Amino acid sequence: MSRPSPSRPSPSRREVLRWGAGAGGTAVLATLGIAVAAPASAVGPSGSDWMAALDGGLPLTRLTIPGTHDSWCTDPANGTEWSHTQNWGLPQQLEKGIRFFDIRLNGLQGTASELGVYHDRFYQYHRFQDVLNACRDHLRRFPGEVLVMRVRNERAGGQALGDEEFARRIGYYLDDPAMNYRSLFWTEPRWPRLGEARGRIVFVADFGNSWPVIQWSSGSNGFFRTQDTWQGVSTGQKSTLVEQWFDRAFYDQGAAEMYVNFTSYANGLWPKTQAGAILPRVFRYLDARKTERIHLGIVPMDFPDFDERIVGLLIGKNFL
């Protein structure tokens, strides 16, 4: 992406965004290599099948993808409000247009090979096969969609597993005749183009392994550039970090890695409290820039139902 000429003073990123497409703003955005679309009442499809309208040649790294953090943790009875991160269950998230899922697993008590969805040590009363069946059902109905799933070894509580046993159990889901979900997944060690992975889940491994698949990073590696600060700063500072990571993606449109920007935050407060404070700033940021033709990567959230407009703005980025 082109940059402002060093021969004259460059406007700051904040100035450019404040100007937007107003007087002088369009020319500056063009100088930065950012296309500006005319405002429209509808910026593209949303909901259950929005990806189907996109060119199959697009790399996933050139999309903006709404996601959820601790994706199927919907009941405060399962670990108090501390482990309650979503109001929408997985099937509803799929219908609403969420396409990245953060699935955290421990061993399922009373079974030899199964895994259950956990937030830390708290079982959420969904098995891994429940997650996969919900995704498969949606993809069968809407085969033009692609899902991205971080599969994490939660390593917590009495059902914690070592990485070798965790990997064995993932293999059970992939290949054992009792499960046999391998065909549901994209399992290559690179980001696919949209058309290559339609109808499947892009598998992202967040556990010790030597498999040739996409490997998760909460920082940076060959696959990801991630902002996932979840404690240690104020809520306002976390909101600023989210905005700064959007800015970083703005200036790095050619990155081979996937940008990931978690809006979720803990730091000693319930997730719903933090989401109620952070999501309004996320909306204001995105709404002020809704005509910029750029991609922002994956944006995992707690409680996206608090403001569904955010999901619409993220999806809309793909149709400017």
Same domain? For 152 and 85 the reply is yes
- At 298, which helix (H) or strand (E)? strand 297-301
Q: Is 50 exceeded by the pLDDT of residue 38?
A: no
Contact 105, 153 (CB under 8 A): yes
Same domain? For 55 and 139 the reply is yes
Q: How far apart are CA 127 and CA 117, in angstroms?
A: 6
Q: Which residues pair with 148 in a beta bridge?
A: 100, 202
Q: What is the DSSP letter of 3?
A: -
∠ Cα 147 256 153 (to 5°):
50
Percent of the chain exceeding pLDDT 70 equals: 86
∠ Cα 210 57 310 (to 5°):
85
Domain count, the chain: 2
Same domain? For 11 and 142 the reply is no
Buried residues in 178-197 as b, exposed as e (16+ CB within 10 A): ebebeebbbbeeebbbbebb
Task: Select from 252, 251, 320 the least CA-distant residue to 291.
Answer: 320
Task: Select from 113, 222, 111, 99 the least CA-distant residue to 150.
Answer: 99
pLDDT, one tens digit per residue, over 202-245 is 999 999 999 999 999 999 999 999 999 999 999 999 999 999 99
Same domain? For 166 and 226 the reply is yes
Same domain? For 62 and 27 the reply is no
Q: What's the distance, Cα to Cα, between the start and end of the chain in Å?
A: 17
Same domain? For 108 and 92 the reply is yes
Tokens 């109620």 sit at which residue? 276
Task: Select from 283, 274, 287 the least CA-distant residue to 307.
Answer: 283
Integer angstrom CA distances of residue 183 from 21, 48, 189, 197 = 46, 21, 16, 11
- At 64, which helix (H) or strand (E)? strand 64-68
pLDDT, one tens digit per residue, over 55-81 is 999 999 999 999 999 999 999 999 999
Same domain? For 129 and 154 the reply is yes
Q: How far apart are CA 300 and CA 308, in angstroms?
A: 13
pLDDT, one tens digit per residue, over 247-298 is 999 999 999 999 999 999 999 999 999 999 999 999 999 999 999 999 999 9
CA dihedral in degrees (93, 96, 100, 101; nearest 10)?
0
Q: Return phi, psi of residue 28, to 5°.
A: -65, -45
Task: Give the CATH number of the domain where residue 293 resides.
Answer: 3.20.20.190
Contact 100, 191 (CB under 8 A): no
Same domain? For 29 and 70 the reply is no
CA 203 to chain centre: 13
Find the mean pLDDT for residues 194-200: 98
Q: How far apart are CA 94 and CA 151, in angstroms?
A: 17
pLDDT, one tens digit per residue, over 26-37 is 443 343 344 444
Same domain? For 7 and 51 the reply is no
CA dihedral in degrees (164, 170, 173, 178; nearest 10)?
10
Same domain? For 62 and 20 the reply is no
- The residue type at 132: L
pLDDT for 44 equals 54
Same domain? For 213 and 96 the reply is yes
Same domain? For 16 and 62 the reply is no
Q: Is 60 exceeded by the pLDDT of residue 310?
A: yes
